[in-house]
Amino acid sequence: MVFEGLADKLQDTFKRLRGRGKLSETDVSEALREVRMALLEADVNFKVVKDFVSRVKERAIGQEVMDSLTPGQQVVKIVYDELAALMGGTQSRLNISSRPPTVIMLVGLQGAGKTTTAGKLANLLQRQNKRPLLVAADVYRPAAIKQLQVLGQQLDIPVFTLGDQESPVTIAQKSIDQANALLRDVVIIDTAGRLHINEELMQELRLIKGQAKPHEILLVVDAMTGQDAVGVAEAFNGQLGLDGVILTKLDGDARGGAALSIKAVTGCPIKFAGMGEKLDALEPFYPDRMASRILGMGDVLGLIEKAQASLDLDKARELEKKLRKDSFTFDDFLEQLQQVRKLGSMEQILSMIPGMGSQLKQLKNAELDEKDLKRTEAIIRSMTKKERQDPALINGSRRKRIASGSGTKVQDVNRLLKQFEETRKMMKRFQLMQKSGRKPKGFN
């Protein structure tokens, strides 16, 4: 899971900090030393770490924090703000042209996931009622054209190809006429990659850029290559000019160094993240939500969006209404769980639920799978209807009964209740936030 190591360490550090009534400058410095180590171990660029820590320190040893009744929480809030800022602050959207077609050129090294990402991006845009055209301009990798055609077939999206005998520049140019003829409003060009950056590659990409005049040049890089990915982004940006980055394989990147460094080092925002091999595993990149996940605060909004994209839309709307009215109950929770099977990996889902991040490791050791889902379902089913509507009714002896009724332990019941409560609180906060258009303030 992305940011797993970093999330564990930061959450440990802050747990200790939160427990204190008052903080001294030494407490803050010690905590920040741990933050620094954790970021370096996560493979974040050295200079980025240095600047980050000094920014946090400057704010955290200020009077406002020291005199606060909840100094630990204030420090966490500062770290949250700065982490989000490091990744670009707010979501960076695609630049969609008012005069279609919008031309998107994907560039990157071989194996980064460019062709797969072309398919995923087309899929995402199609879901947003756009009409994409995929363009096979990678004429060097033997299987690339076929791979794109197969993706196009799966998605029912046309693929423009002129085989491997025409030059990529001609293909790119003609694809735009084709888009106009087919009334396609977004053109996604899958360009050729190389194993390494070289002048030949850059020259070809510059020519395509000159002909196709893309509205967006997006670099596809593999998150798992850490600082190498940052170096690749620097080079492409310097030689070609980038509008953004798509970070692939974030699902397999436990460290997160590239995600945390790319914007700060290159100035290019991450626009999307690849979270798996499937065609629906591409997500818009939200710096604030990522920061929230790293600090174990979950990503409820992301979860809702995921649900809306993959699940029954009516049910999702109903859920959203309930969230807004703050009438989310265990029955809804149960329904969600039943639907969860339809959503990506359990790990991804759990990391989006507030308070679950730090428990992921233990859960994983206990072989997190269907069994865990079944257990949670069993606990909820052992509650009475009233209790599901109002969990405050569940006292100590009921917890025992529920545990024995569901074949689980009291700790399991307690954990679920706590998790439910946190989810509810989080939702309330987001709801308030949406009302006032504010960013989240303070933490439990």
Residues forming contacts to ligand GDP in the complex (CB under 6 A) are 108, 110-116, 193, 248-249, 251-252, 274-277, 281
Residue 112 marked as a ligand binder: yes
List C-alpha distances in Å: 24 to 32, 69, 78, 444: 13, 13, 16, 21
- Residue closest to ligand GDP (Cβ): 274
What radius of gyration do the chain's Cα atoms show?
Answer: 24
Whether 231 has a binding-site annotation, put simply, is no
Closer to ligand GDP at the Cβ: 23 or 188? 188
- Closest distance to ligand GDP from the beta carbon of 11 (Å): 25
- Choose between 286 and 328: whose C-beta lies nearer to ligand GDP: 286
- Shortest distance, position 125 Cβ to ligand GDP, whole Å: 17
Nearer to ligand GDP, 89 or 252 (CB): 252
Rounded to a whole number of angstroms, the minimum distance from the CB of residue 67 to ligand GDP is: 45
User: Which of 251, 422 has the CB closer to ligand GDP?
Assistant: 251
Q: Closest approach of Cβ 52 to ligand GDP, in Å?
A: 26
Q: Is 194 labelled a binding residue?
A: yes
CB of 186 to ligand GDP, least distance (A): 19
110 is in an annotated binding site: yes
CB of 346 to ligand GDP, least distance (A): 15
Nearer to ligand GDP, 62 or 111 (CB): 111
Sign of CA dihedral 189, 192, 194, 199: negative
For ligand GDP, the closer CB: 31 or 259: 259
When the beta carbons of 257 and 354 are compared against ligand GDP, the nearer one is 257
84 is in an annotated binding site: no
Residue 185 marked as a ligand binder: no
Residue 48 CB, nearest approach to ligand GDP (Å): 23
Has 252 been labeled as part of a binding site?
Answer: no
- Give, in degrees to the nearest 5, the angle at Cα 254 between 60 and 190: 110
- Binding site annotation covers 257? no
Is residue 322 within 8 A of residue 331, CB to CB? The reply is: no
Report the 10 Å Cβ neighbour count for 46: 11
**Does 90 appear as a known binding residue?**
no
Nearest Cα to 222, choosing from 262, 185, 186?
262
Q: Specify binding-site residues.
A: 108-115, 190-194, 248-251
Q: Specify binding-site residues for GTP.
A: 108-115, 190-194, 248-251
